[in-house]
Every structure is written in C-alpha cells, then in structure tokens.
Structure 1
C-alpha cells in the first residue's frame, strides 16, 4: 500500500504550488492568444481548450511540487489509497448528498444580476455552455479528471501538508476547503466547492485515504453534469423536484444525521483499536 510522501507545508512548498498554478495559467493565456490572433479560433467556445487548460492548471502544481520540493529530498510524490470498510461508504454517500442539497440552495442566494454579478454570471454561463456542448468532454472532465486531480491536489497534498504542520485538523480542513472553493473562481462555484470541500476533507481525514473522497467528488459532479445536460447551464433546477427551502431543510437533516453517525463510527473504531 502506498504511503503519502507529502511534506509539512512551508513557505517554499507553498510558493512552488503557486508557481505551478501560474505556469499553467500563463501557458493557457499564451495558447488563447495564439487561437485568436494566429489560428482565428474562438477558444472560449471550445470544450477541448477548456479540457487542456484545466489539466495544465491541475497537473503543473503537482509537477512543481514533485521536482522542486520532493526530488531534492530523494522522494517521489505518493498518495494514500487505503481501503475503506463497507460501512464507511454507506455513511459517507448520504453525508455528501445532504451537503449537496445544502449547497444547492445556498448557491441560489448568490446574485446573478447587477453590474458586477451580472457580467460575472454571464461569463460563468458562457463557460458552462462551452463545456456542455460536448457531453463526452463534460463527463471526462467533471466526472473522471476533476475528482482525481482535484483530490490529489487539494486533499492529498494541500490539506495533508497543512495538517502535517501540526495545525488543528478542523482548521486545516476549512483552509483547504476555502482554497478549493477559491480555485473555482466564480461565486456560484465557490460556495458549492467550499461546502463540499469540507465534507471531502472530513472524509479524507477520517479514512486516511483518497479513495472515498475521489468517489464522492465524482458522485457530486455526475449529478451536476446530468442536471446540466437535461436543463442547460443556466438553471436553478434543484436536485429534488420540490421548493428549494424544503430541499435545503432535508439536506440539513440528512447531513446532521449522517455526520453524527460517521463521527460515532470512527470514534468507535478508534476506541476498539486502542483497546
């Protein structure tokens, strides 16, 4: 079984991750300029451009971390893939679904009109429309690549490296979830990513494995992709066909019940192991 080689977060490793992200963004910007001025291609409506750009943004921080942080120490980047019990899956998926309902409602509270939010929302829906043009690309990006690469980076590397500094795990989860939300840029994505990042962070911290966070992330993104494919990117259609406030309250109930059960289960496992 692989054991994580992630090191405690320090200024140098944080800078390397940031430079990796900036390198990806620079390459994307250069490629966008080539598309417009040389090849006369509207990259903004191209799903393949979005796919390649996304991969560069996610992979280059991992590459920079590998070569500038770990290699000098004779290490290679590895992550935790410990197996989970069946009960863990039974508890984690409803936990995630409850937070999905909560996030779905709170996202609708973010304004979509006005000078600032209106223009930003238009840019957001244009980007989602470009992604939704090709269902295969959308599924590949959101259900396969995003869960893998984002969990590697945000839970397996960033969250773990913060926790290894000795910071309280709860604070570490909130910080990594905030960074995860900020990476998604748009306010409507930030709210959902931050809240779901908290669940993914809790599950990762309890299971010490990326397997379940990756599956939960894929589950959330699959539901979102299916809704987008059916109703389009500019929709407030909820996960459940009921009034949003009731969906929210159901989500709060499901989340709290399974959060208690999930916490109790791992406390019991810990007490049995210690005994």
Structure 2
C-alpha cells in the first residue's frame, strides 16, 4: 500500500501548475484594476494577453524545474537510463508531430459537427486568448515556456511518481494524459490535449527523457499555430485535405520508426 502514496505528490504537481497558471492572471488583473480602474485594466489586460501568459508560465516554470531537478534530474545513475537525442531522433519526432497535428485537425472537424457549441467556445478561446497573436512574447510563452513547464510536470514529475506505484506504463500514460486534458479546462482542447498527452508520454517513455516530449510539444504548438496559418494562406483546400488524409498513415509509420530507433 505504501507505494500508492506516490499518487499524492503526482497530484500535488498537477495542482501546482494548475494553481499558478490560473491564479497569476487573476492576481495580475486585480493589480491592474487597482491601479487603472476596471475599463482601462481590461483593455491593458487584453492588449497584453500574451505577456500575461508568458509571465504565468515563467512563474510556473521556476518551481517546476526545481522540483523536477530534485526529484528526477539529480538522481544518481539517471544518465545511464537516458537516451541521447540524435539528429535522426529529432527528425522522427518532428515528422510524427507534423502528422499528429494534421490528424488532430481532422478530429477537430469531426468534433465541430458533433459539438458545435463547444467548438464555438474553443474558437473564442483561440481568438481571445492570444494564441495567434504572433510576437516575441507569444513565442516565449507558447513555444518555449509552456512546453518546458508543462512537460516537467506532466511527462516529468507526474509520470515519475506514478511509475513508483508500479503501475504499468499504459496506466501511467492514460492518467497523465487525462490530467493534461483536464488541465486545459475546455472540452474541445481537453479532448485533443488528452490525445496529444498520450503521444508525448509515449515519446518520453521510448526515448527515456522528457526532452523528447518538450521538443514534440514545442513543435506541436508551432504547427498548430504558424504552420496552420501558412497552409490556410498558401495551400488550396484540396491540398490541405490531402495532407490531412496522408497524416494518418504517416503517424503510424513514424510511431514504428520511433519504436525501432529506441529498441534495446
């Protein structure tokens, strides 16, 4: 029974990042209201929403990185259990994420038909949440800090502690992915975050390093924003559809490539 107590620090790690990323924006908004009044504060907040996100993730990253280093990073002998990411590994991860991003876009199209109201709420979140407000602060928040902080928690600490319960990898991966989906607090985003979490957990497991998940997460965020916008601007609808359909077999192929790369 003692081994199941490791579920507690896993859940605390989840609460840590959840609490920081939802409390910091609230504190910042009340600070702005105190100094500028409600209307001016609202305008400032929305005009600098990516800066708010960057600050929130920076604050979340500090305790996450320290905790990860103390619990996982400095353990003796860990380097012997870790695969070094080679150039071929980078290519495999990037191709997998490219395919997965387009496969998930197919899922989003299906969800738009099945859950139109939830999809409208998600579209509003994307539009008002600064996810496509490209700038240096956007890059730091979405491509750098978010993958670092979230991976150290979900594929790092949570997986680390759940493994100590002697759960099989499948159970560990399902739990951390479910928490990752819940973390996004939006039905549509939660569904695809759960799927993404499964793949990120698999990559961290196969390569035996959270660095693989960090790389994949960063590339996924880049593909889901910049690449999607570029494809919409420069590719015909038929070409986009072709890429989406080809992404399904490509995802399967790249999973097999990664399995072969990491076979002991």
TM-score, normalised relative to structure 2: 0.76
**Gap runs ≥5 in structure 1:** 1-6, 232-236, 271-275
Give me the whole-angstrom Cα distance separating, in 1, the residues matched to 2:216 and 2:17.
26
For 2:260 and 2:96, the matched residues in 1 are separated by: 13
CA distance in 1, matches of 2:23, 2:216: 31
Cα distance change, pair 266–53 in 1 and its aligned pair in 2 (3 A): closer
Partner of 2:100: 99
Matched, 1:248 2:244: yes
Inter-partner Cα distance in structure 1 for 2:196 and 2:93? 12
Q: 2:22 aligns with which of 25, 28, 36?
A: 25
For 1:240 and 1:178, how far apart are their aligned partners in 2?
34
CA distance in 2 between counterparts of 1:20 and 1:86 reads: 31
Q: Does 1:263 align with 2:229?
A: no
Contact 2:72 2:160 in 1 (8 A): no
Q: In the alignment, does 2:111 pair up with 1:110?
A: yes
Mapping 1:40-55, distance limit 5 Å: 40=37, 41-42=41-42, 43-46=45-48, 47-55=50-58
Tell whether the 8 Å contact from 1:154 to 1:176 is kept in structure 2 after alignment. yes
TM-score, normalised to structure 1, is 0.73
- Report how many aligned residue pairs link the two structures: 246
Shift of 1:16: 5.8
Q: For each residue in 1:193-236, what CA deviation from the matched residue of structure 2 results, as whole angstroms up to 9, or x when unmatched? A: 222222211111011112222222222222233247659xxxxx
Query: Which has more helix, going by share of residues?
Result: 2
Quote the RMSD (CA, aligned, Å): 3.4
Counterpart-to-counterpart distance in 2, 1:198 and 1:188 = 16
Per-residue deviation, 1:176: 1.3
Alignment partners' CA distance in 2, 1:220 and 1:19: 24
Q: State the partner residue of 1:4.
A: none
Which residue does 1:11 correspond to in 2? 8
Distance 1:50 1:174, change over 3 A: same
C-alpha spacing 1:114/1:217, structure 2 compared with 1 (3 Å): closer
Deviation at 1:108, TM superposition (A): 2.5
Q: SS at the partner of 2:70?
A: coil
Displacement of 1:152 after TM fit? 0.9
Change in 2 beyond 3 A, CA 1:193/1:85: same
Aligned partners of 1:239, 1:185: CA distance in 2, in Å? Answer: 33
Gaps of 5+ in 2: none
Q: Is the 8 A contact 1:142 1:225 kept in 2?
A: no
Distance in 2 between residues matched to 1:212 and 1:13, nearest whole Å: 20
CA shift in 2, pair 1:95/1:124, >3 Å: closer
C-alpha distance after superposition, 1:1-49 (max 9, x if no partner):
xxxxxx9732255246425632553343232123235323222332322
Of stretches 166-175 and 239-248 in structure 1, the one that deviates more from structure 2 is 239-248
Deviation of 1:255 after TM superposition, in Å, equals: 0.9
